[in-house]
Amino acid sequence: MAQVALSDSQGDNRLATATNGRAKANGSNANGKRPLAGSGSDLTDDDMPLAKRAKGTTTNGSAPAANGNGKAPKRKAVESSDSEDDMPIAQTLKSVAVPMPGAVEQPDDNDDVPLAKTNGRGARGHPRQSYKEESQSTEDEDDSDVPIAKKAAPKKRASNGKGKQPPKKMVKKEESDESSDEDVPLSQKTPAAKPKAAAAMPAAKKRKSEPTTPATKKAKVEVKKEESVSPVKARGKKAKSEDADADAQAKAEEAEEEESYKYWEALTAAGDGSQKWTTLEHNGVLFPPPYQSLPSTVKMLYEGKPVDLPPESEEVAGFFGAMLETDHAQDAKFRENFFDDFKTVLEKHPPKNGIKIKSLDKCDFRPMYEYYEAERAKKKALSAAEKKELKKAKDLLEEPYLHCLLDGRKEKVGNFRVEPPGLFRGRGVHPKKGKLKLRLYPEDMIINIGEGAKIPVPNIPGKWKEVIHDNTVTWLANWKENVNGNSKYVFLAAGSSLKGQSDIAKFEKARELKKHVARLRKDYTADLTSKVMADRQRATAVYFIDRYALRAGNEKGDDEADTVGCCSLRYEHVTMEKPDKLILDFLGKDSIRYYNELKVEIQIFKNIRIFKDGKSIGDDLFDRVTTTGLNKYLQSYMKGLTAKVFRTYNASVTCQQQLEKLTDPNATVAEKILAFNRANREVAILCNHQRTVSKGFAASMEKMNDKLRALKYQRRKLRYALLTQEPQLKKKRKELVEEESDLDDEWIATHEDELRKKEIEKTEKKFEKEKEKAAAEGEEEPKASVLNDRIAAINEEYDRLKKERGSKNVELKSAKSAEKIEEALEKLDERIKNFRYQITDKDEGKEVSLTTSKTNYIDPRIIAAWAKKHGVPIEKVLSKSLITKFPWAVEVDPDFVF
């Protein structure tokens, strides 16, 4: 994979070697990292260990400050042995420290000493056996929607020196460390005020019928509020209009108004962000149907004997039975956790025939597995009409829950379906996989709705646990799952106004970092040689966050996954190889392994050596740094700046630079798409968005190669047909004589037999549809002889092809002129070329996830602007769901620059 060198002049040097990582995982090299400004492989006094520096200089190589008498204090040069180069800072400072005037000696202050030197182990340096929940909020989710009662109390403002607090400025609330949903309250929006993002967007398209002004928008919303029907009332009935034409016109106008509402134009840059909405109506959540007992003939076996389980126990046994042939069911930890919970359920609901179940190995779930497999096969074998009816019934059931009314506007709801019970699978190496996820009831659910709105009725018997009216949060429902005890929420869909406003604010904050990043890098580079251990550790941590997009890392509880980030790296996670190589190996987010071989600056290498000195396995590497303290330091440079903002900034900058580097304006659309995916892949590597190669990857690649051979087969037929008509071309055009690769007689025979079989199946299905249509319309059904004649014609054609296999004299099924064949050959050559790009793209991306970066980290305006500029259809690089999620980005100007 290509080395990535990014310009420092733009203040955006992110990777140095973005692809050196994943090192052995991807087989790439770890060399080529460009040093930070002010540091390098040549040791200056600035880079030398403190123990080896002359006393007459400061840490930056300048003369010491005056002592108050206009003269600098005299110092004698002190020589030290090479062994002192490896000594902790505290052991080298006595000969260089200059006490400040009025300073009081603090013998117990160890800020400049690693904690390992003070108590033998880091404050957080203990071995952890902690784990992370599968469904815990992902990176693009946040805690901005947590009820106020659960939020931390605001800090008191500093005094202005006169005994009074300064007046509170009206500023936009910034997102927290893991937050991206601090939305501006809709009630406080000022249509005239626009965000910084608006400068990069074209003016809104106005409706032809009337100009769209703040006044008319407000009036329309008010009218809509008065005329709107509560979604609860609309559950089973719809208001009947006396005038059908007027009703249709009203619906059309409403749809046009919804489509024309562009929340990003009404986004205000002011407000404290406390209130998110004024009115909210919705139908609650959709609970899964109750459990249906298995047929009496389907029983779990224990020591070969059928076990008569009550429904409560049978349901849990069925969860395991349905997964019998999966890797989960073979996993020791999964089996252990399942059986522990299964025994607990059996104690409350024991087998009716008195069988005692004491060992999972003696349980036989095969009958259950076979039953569920048969049910799946039946569902798959349903006719198109039957599947359509099932979907219609499902849509009818879900329709009331799809939307809510937010401030009078119809907004789509996200995850309104309550998660059904089952077995927890977890991500990565999770110790709770296999545990039972209990069935949820209305009594487990807290509903958040507008005050005065009609309270929704659950679709199953029961009453809500609580109904609240909190307009400072954006969730509609909240419950606590039993496996890890975490709160889970129902939010609006990704394309909603609240989510969209949050996304805009997130990417604008990352863009703002451009103004401050140069100063921040200069300061933390200087602190890499600080005499204070806490400052030196913090600077080194920021270096890793800035250069390699490491997550900050947070403390984990005993029941969470043992995943770490920069601040929580431990002694065993970093291996050193002289002179300047660091190997990082740890479990990152979602228990995904992070492995990276880094060639770093000499000063960074020295710092890590000092941080590890005196420590052992289980001790924290950065024992003087916490995530909270680190983010507080970052926010001193820019309000709201956190380690996560760095990841968004790094990803966006890297994507834009790589697109400029890799895109050839004169290339085909297929080549440009390949360039885009390669640029996105660099971002995914930077952010460690790795994935394991899927089990079906080899089969999928073989299938693609077979499709490529099928295209070559078509080309061969066209080429032979052209030469049959125009034999003189054999001497004039060599490309028409050269044989296609990968095509042998055996493969051609197999391919033609498969084509024959598929065409016959297609003809039979078409005949069945014709019969169904005739029966539905009361017409005479076609006779079986019609089908037989069609199949006979297919067999006749493929028998003819069979005879042509050994001959180069080919006749096409439909006669074509030489000119038409030439045109078909040109189109087919282009298809083959583009399909080869797809195969290359798939192979290169087999170990990298390209979705996460586009969903959470890359500013979508970069992608949309690139697509417009180079004539690439936006749907080729952004999925339909992402286009819905980022409608504000699609309207960006082609010249947009992050």
Residues designated catalytic: 857
The residue among 33, 12, 18, 1 whose CA lies nearest residue 656 is 12
Whole-angstrom distance, CA of residue 73 vs CA of residue 405: 73
- Token duo for residue 702: 């073989």
Helices 643-662 and 627-635, packing angle to 10 deg:
70
Contact status, residue 681 vs residue 689, Cβ threshold 8 Å:
no
Residue 620 contacts residue 122 (beta carbons within 8 Å): yes
What one-character-per-residue DSSP string does 527-539 give?
A: HTT-SSHHHHHHH
Task: Compute the distance between CA of residue 590 and CA of residue 135 in angstroms, rounded to an integer.
Answer: 10
Residue 424's Cα: distance from chain center in Å?
21
**CB-CB neighbours of 342 under 10 Å:** 21
Cα(180)–Cα(172) distance, integer angstroms: 13
Q: What are phi and psi of 477, to 5 degrees?
A: -150, 155
What DSSP state is assigned to residue 90?
A: G
| Secondary structure of 575-620 in HEC code, one letter for each residue | EEECCCEEEEEEECHHHCEEEEEEECCHHHHHHHHHHHCCCCCCCE
Residues sharing a CB contact under 8 Å with residue 77, sequence separation 6 or more, in sequence order: 54, 55, 56
**DSSP assignments along 375-416, one per residue:** HHHHHHTS-HHHHHHHHHHHHHHHGGGSEEEETTEEEEBS--
**Which residue's structure tokens are 């919970």?**
341
**Residue 650 CB neighbour total at 10 angstroms:** 28
The 3-state DSSP class for residue 406 equals strand
DSSP state of 369: H
* Cis ω before 579 (30° cut-off from 0): yes
Query: What are the structure tokens assigned to 379, written together?
Result: 């569902």
Place of tokens 């069979």: 802
Cβ partners under 8 Å of residue 629, min gap 6: 538
**Would you call 570 helix, strand, or coil by DSSP?**
strand
d(CA 530, CA 524): 10
DSSP string, 35-86: PPTT--SS--TTTS-GGGS-TTS-TTSSPPPP-SSSSPPP-------GGGGG
User: Is residue 322 classed as helix, strand or coil in its secondary structure?
Assistant: helix
Q: Give, in order, the Cα–Cα distances in Å from 351 to each of 302, 306, 355, 371.
A: 11, 10, 6, 20
Angle at 641 between CA 637 and CA 644, to 5 degrees: 145
What distance in Å separates the CA atoms of residue 521 and residue 64, rounded to the nearest whole number? 24
What is the distance of C-alpha 541 from the center of its chain?
24
d(CA 451, CA 445): 18
Burial 704-725, CB ≥16 within 10 A → b, else e: beeebbebbbbbbbbbbbbbbb
Task: State both tokens at 428.
Answer: 């990565």
Amino acid at 714: Q
Complete DSSP assignment for 469-491: --TTS--SEEEE-TTT--EEEE-
Measured between alpha carbons, how far is 887 from 127 in angstroms, rounded to an integer? Answer: 47
Using alpha carbons only, how large is the chain's radius of gyration in Å?
34
